[in-house]
Amino acid sequence: MRVKDGKSIFIADDRELFRIMMGDILTIVGHKVRAMEDGQEVINELDKNPEGVDLLVLDLHMEGNLDGFGVLDWMKSRNRVGNPPVLVITGAYSIESIQRELKEYGVNHYLSKETSPGEFVFEVNKILYDDMMRRERIRVPANIEVDFSLGDKLCKGTILDLSESGVFIYTNQMIETENDVKLHFLLPGEDEAVEAAGTVKWIDELGSRNYGIGVHFSDMKPITKALIMSFIAEEQERIA
């Protein structure tokens, strides 16, 4: 889901690659992102500008001056539980092993670092725009390789979310808006590929030469639409 009123998000993680990758993805869907490499940076910024962030994406195991648990301890000691809301994302601990402890810090949102980029964006937007997302047409996170073509130009990308009306594609190919494209992708668990036509409705450019492209479906077979709706229903149930 691309948002019009982007929020301010801090990403605290000691792995530069993760900070860049997730920061880029959140940027192309419309958010303003600031990356930090340890917990002390987070505390300094929260202390200096308490209302300057709408969401903290926090790794628990960070080398450096302070780890994620240190940040949560600081927030709890300052009566700042839930301000800002925290999304914990970790590769060092299983979610099951830390769930109870996180709840004591008032943290109810957590993901594994094995989570797909689409699910990550979906969870971020669900925290920030929960009421709005309930009203919107249903879309679900995805991580699906897609081939798409504009005339003779063949392109590749990854579908990060999917609805009955269109897809959001992460790609290194530049395509102007209002161009018509043909899409070819395989839904998980299906043997027959989805073939659909669509129109590029928006595009965001990143400095690293990656792009976020919003494509609105314009033509597909009824059976294709039925496959997409079935996938969406299954993903909704799984996420819930």
Domain extent for 83: 8-132
Domain stops at, among 72, 103, 132: 132
One DSSP character per residue, 16-71 reads: HHHHHHHHHHHHHTT-EEEEESSHHHHHHHHHH-TTS-SEEEE-SS--SS--HHHH
Indicate if 165 and 225 belong to the same structural domain: yes
Indicate if 49 and 157 belong to the same structural domain: no
Q: CATH no. for residue 229? A: 2.40.10.220
Whole-structure pTM value: 0.64
Burial class (CB in 10 A: 0-12, 13-18, 19+), 8: middle
- Confidence (pLDDT) at 58: 94
Measured distance CA(208)–CA(221) in Å, rounded? 36
Indicate if 57 and 120 belong to the same structural domain: yes
- Confidence (pLDDT) at 103: 87
- For residue 8, list its beta bridge partners: 32
Whether residue 160 lies inside any domain: the answer is yes
Query: Could you tell me where the beta strands, DSSP code E, fall in the chain?
Result: 8-12, 32-36, 55-58, 86-90, 109-112, 139-150, 153-163, 166-171, 180-185, 194-205, 211-220
Please give the tally of structural domains in the chain: 2
Paired tokens of 75? 């927030």
Tally of CB atoms within 10 A around 125: 25
Tally of CB atoms within 10 A around 191: 6
Domain stops at, among 132, 152, 176: 132
Burial class (CB in 10 A: 0-12, 13-18, 19+), 110: buried
Whether residue 110 lies inside any domain: the answer is yes
Whether residue 3 lies inside any domain: the answer is no
CB 22 within 8 A of CB 208: no
Indicate if 113 and 14 belong to the same structural domain: yes
Kindly list the averaged pLDDT for each block of 10 residues, start to end, along the chain of length 240: 79 90 86 92 90 91 86 91 90 78 88 83 82 58 92 92 90 90 93 93 78 92 88 80
- Confidence (pLDDT) at 12: 93
Domain stops at, among 132, 165, 182: 132
Measured distance CA(223)–CA(195) in Å, rounded? 10
Tally of CB atoms within 10 A around 175: 19
